[in-house]
């Protein structure tokens, strides 16, 4: 019986943790570059260099839920804030395997992804900043967080 105990404990210890099998990495910031006071500026999620990008890794066949936590303002000099908005088609998920179809989705809603043909998904994020006519010049930034839940 003690042997069975050891086998059971060993089996539990050796069982791979699902949390160790999924991961998300930041790849690229959502970069609006230079914007002019009073002139809104949009970066599409399909932009090759300025869209934000995360990379998700999970085993083939697994399903994950993606949730983006989005800012409403970018923080700037002397407490100034720059409004940022996200439209319903400002996020795209693309599987990293041949033939994967881009999945345009609302970044303000959760999205379920299934790894049908590989182990990598890329999620791209766009948005629009709207500097006011009296916007204080300077550098502004805020954090976009992608939370991944497996199920």
**Token reading at 150:** 């497996």
Q: Is residue 151 a contact point for another protein (CB under 8 A)?
A: yes
CB atoms within 10 A of CB 70: 17
Q: Which listed residue (45, 52, 95, 107) binds another protein by CB under 8 A? A: 52
Assess contact for 96 and 122: CB atoms under 8 A. Answer: yes
In the complex, least distance from residue 28 CB atom to another protein, rounded to whole angstroms: 7
Is 57 or 98 the residue whose CB approaches another protein more closely? 57
Q: Is residue 114 a contact point for another protein (CB under 8 A)?
A: no
How far apart (Å, rounded) are the C-alpha atoms in residues 67 and 89? Answer: 15
Is 22 or 99 the residue whose CB approaches another protein more closely? 22
**Token reading at 101:** 């179809």
**Token reading at 81:** 């804030």
Assess contact for 82 and 136: CB atoms under 8 A. Answer: no
Q: Is residue 54 a contact point for another protein (CB under 8 A)?
A: yes
Residue list 15-44, contact with another protein (CB under 8 A): 15, 17-19, 22-38, 41
Q: Which of 129, 140, 117, 143 is nearest to 26 (CA)?
A: 143
Is 48 or 98 the residue whose CB approaches another protein more closely? 48
Assess contact for 108 and 70: CB atoms under 8 A. Answer: yes
Q: Is residue 136 a contact point for another protein (CB under 8 A)?
A: yes
- What residue ranges bind another protein (CB under 8 A)? 1, 4-5, 8-9, 12, 15, 17-19, 22-38, 41, 52-54, 71, 74, 76, 82, 84, 125, 127, 129, 131, 135-151
């Amino acid at each position: 019986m003690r042997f069975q105990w050891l086998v059971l404990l060993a089996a539990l210890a050796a069982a791979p943790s699902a949390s160790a099998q999924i991961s998300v990495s930041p790849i690229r910031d959502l970069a609006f570059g230079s914007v002019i006071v009073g002139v809104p500026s949009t970066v599409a999620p399909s932009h090759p260099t300025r869209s934000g990008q995360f990379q998700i890794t999970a085993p083939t066949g697994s399903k994950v839920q993606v949730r983006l936590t989005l800012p409403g303002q970018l923080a700037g000099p002397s407490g100034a804030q720059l409004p940022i908005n996200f439209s319903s088609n400002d996020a795209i998920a693309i599987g990293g395997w041949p033939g994967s179809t881009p999945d345009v989705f609302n970044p303000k809603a959760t999205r379920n992804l299934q790894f049908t043909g590989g182990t990598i998904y890329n999620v791209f994020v766009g948005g629009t900043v709207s500097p006011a006519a009296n916007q204080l010049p300077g550098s502004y930034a805020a954090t976009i967080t992608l939370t991944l839940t497996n199920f």
